[in-house]
Structure 1
């Protein structure tokens, strides 16, 4: 997975439409061949009809999927220029409680940060180097985060705590990284809905939890078609400043 101007695997709307057109053309050609064969051999008509129904169903599901992916990445606003959505649980709702094992082997709970503004960063994990570069960039911009009212930053991913600990050590990072191997917390925050690996891993989601445990801001950047896995901290703060609630 590479990092190119903060985005990977970007596919423009024009490319998506071209792909959809190609898919429809292939299905139309297959349908035409099937009809021709049915006319030549009437005994095959029941089989051909079944094939046509299946092809039609697959085509419809494909188009629905493409449409939903496009809607998923409608920009919510802000000033970063990076497309994102605010998933659920959303801004203004209570943040789901959790206790997870950190890279140091300690148990860390959301309740530990009561009275503070904690920025949860859900990320893809060991296989995503841009995600670790993101943590480093956040650490290098700690003063800017503090100025924006962010007291703590905590990252959550799905790899085992021991492997996370080794990665944190190798990268010389100080941010707590928590292990969510069964995705219980990731699913509670629906952070595994925006990654390149389907729902098996998290995407690239930031969730600001206020002192009272309420979600004050949320931005899910990792969804199709852009699959953003890194953006400069200043861009994160641009969206946070524009979209957060008091």
Structure 2
């Protein structure tokens, strides 16, 4: 009697080869994607670290955008909350600290102005003759806010963002480039920028820091 051999359940070699090759391709593709993701993350993290590098003694991360120290401060004439026309040239011969801020929707920004006024002696002692704030809201609304908060610091309206964009102060806020962030720019008596710190950028989006902390950075980083 002839014996019948059992049928083999093993797949043909060609099928196994195709399966192994397909698996290998998936592993390679997955590894390549992982490498790309790691590289993109490192690039992103590097850009964030560069934008938000801690400097000076405040411990608050901040950037130094452009125009920066040594550059001529772009001129401007804007309407204040009290209806007056204020120009940068009004401060020629004095050192003025420009404070770009987010505006009416940012209460910490107004608290910052309050803190600057409470620490006026320290601000003056750091060589600052005047403080001027700039935001993008309408002058009449700014005037009402100033009255409500009982502030004396001039706050100027830049509704078309022409000045904010000239100083690139709208690159460091939570609203993208639609509003300013939290930027301090020190303009010397000769019209040159002596110091700049943009605190409002990612990932912290700092909208308030104690005046003494800001002055610590100004003192450390200020250019002659």
Separation in 2, partners of 1:158, 1:150: 24
Partner of 2:189: 211
Pairwise CA distance, 1:66:
5.7
Separation in 1, partners of 2:186, 2:79: 20
Q: Is the 8 A contact 2:50 2:63 kept in 1?
A: no
The one of 137, 150, 156 equivalent to 2:134 is 156
The one of 72, 91, 95 equivalent to 2:51 is 72
Q: Count matched residues.
A: 191
Unaligned runs of 5+ in 1: 1-38, 40-54
Separation in 2, partners of 1:94, 1:78: 23
Equivalence map 1:26-45=2 (5 Å): none
Q: Partner of 2:65: helix, strand, or coil?
A: coil
Separation in 2, partners of 1:88, 1:170: 34
Hey, which bits of structure 1, 4+ residues long, moved more than 4 A? 62-67
Q: If each structure's helix is expressed as a fraction of its own residues, which one has the higher value? A: 1
State the TM-score, normalizing by the size of structure 2. Answer: 0.81
Pairwise CA distance, 1:245:
1.2
State the TM-score, normalizing by the size of structure 1. Answer: 0.73
In angstroms, what is the RMSD of aligned CA positions?
Answer: 2.0
Q: Is the 8 A contact 1:117 1:150 kept in 2?
A: yes
Separation in 1, partners of 2:95, 2:198: 18
Separation in 1, partners of 2:45, 2:218: 29
Separation in 1, partners of 2:117, 2:214: 13
Q: Partner of 1:155: helix, strand, or coil?
A: strand
Unaligned runs of 5+ in 2: 1-21, 23-32
Separation in 2, partners of 1:126, 1:67: 33
Answering whether residue 116 of structure 2 is matched by residue 138 of structure 1, we say: yes
The one of 119, 126, 135 equivalent to 2:97 is 119
